């Protein structure tokens, strides 16, 4: 992303977290998801995919991203509790489509 001109890029692995600069009360947590990835014809599943939990003082937001249901969602719920807002994908897809 930095090669494309984006600044202040922070990469996170699953379960790693980082606060929003200047807003220490808001935390982004990279959480597991079930997916596959392909950025070029030769790099199947070489990049991490994930979902996001955004934790604030009054609200919690979970963004599942492009995922199917997986057992990690139960662990996410145990760690962070219920979310205030939960957009979730509604269509199943596969790499063949």
pLDDT of 37 reads 67
Average pLDDT over the chain reads: 81
CA trace torsion 57, 59, 64, 68 (10° rounding): 120
Q: Would you place residue 21 in the very low, low, confident or very high pLDDT band (cuts 50, 70, 90)?
A: confident
Cα–chain center distance at 75: 14
- What is d(CA 19, CA 66) in angstroms, rounded to the nearest whole number? 23
**H/E element, 75:** helix 72-80
Chain CA centroid to CA 1, Å: 17
Higher pLDDT, 88 or 42: 42
This prediction's pTM: 0.73
């Amino acid at each position: 992303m930095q090669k494309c001109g984006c600044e202040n890029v922070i990469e996170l692995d699953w379960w790693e977290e980082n606060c929003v600069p200047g807003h220490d009360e808001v935390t982004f947590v990279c959480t597991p998801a079930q997916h596959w990835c392909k950025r070029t014809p030769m790099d199947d599943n070489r990049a991490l995919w994930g979902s996001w939990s955004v934790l604030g003082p009054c609200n919690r937001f979970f963004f599942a991203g492009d995922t199917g249901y997986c057992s990690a969602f139960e662990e996410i719920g145990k760690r962070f509790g219920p979310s205030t807002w939960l957009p979730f994908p509604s269509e199943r897809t596969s790499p063949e489509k």
